[in-house]
Amino acid sequence: MKYKTLQFDCEQAAATITLNRPEKRNAISAEMITELLLAFDAAEASPARVVILTGAGKAFCAGMDLEELRAHEGQSLQENLEDARRMAKLFLGIYRFPKPVIAAVNGAALAGGCGLATLADFTLAAPEVKFGYTEVRIGFLPALVSIFLRRQIGEKRARDLLLSGRILDAAEALRLGLVTEVVPAGNLMACAREVAGILAAASLEAVARTKRLLVESEEAALQAEIELAIRASAEIRSTANFREGLSSFLEKRPPKWKRD
Q: Which residues are catalytic?
A: 135
Q: Which residues contact 180 (CB under 8 A, 6 or more apart)?
A: 122, 123, 124, 174
- HSE at residue 6, side-chain half, CA atoms within 13 A, is 28
Q: How far apart are CA 106 and CA 111, in angstroms?
A: 16
Query: Beta-carbon neighbour count of residue 113 at 10 Å?
Result: 29
Q: Which of 184, 183, 140, 135 is nearest to 161 (CA)?
A: 135
For the packed helices 219-236 and 204-216, what is the interaxial angle rounded to 10 degrees?
Answer: 70
Q: Which of 164, 187, 30, 27 is nearest to 109 (CA)?
A: 27
The stretches of the chain forming alpha helices (DSSP H) are 30-45, 66-71, 77-96, 112-119, 143-153, 155-164, 170-176, 188-200, 204-216, 219-236, 240-250
Q: How far apart are CA 91 and CA 195, in angstroms?
A: 22
29-257-136 Cα angle (round to 5)? 45
Query: Beta-carbon neighbour count of residue 57 at 10 Å?
Result: 16
Helix (H, G, I), strand (E, B) or coil at 14: strand
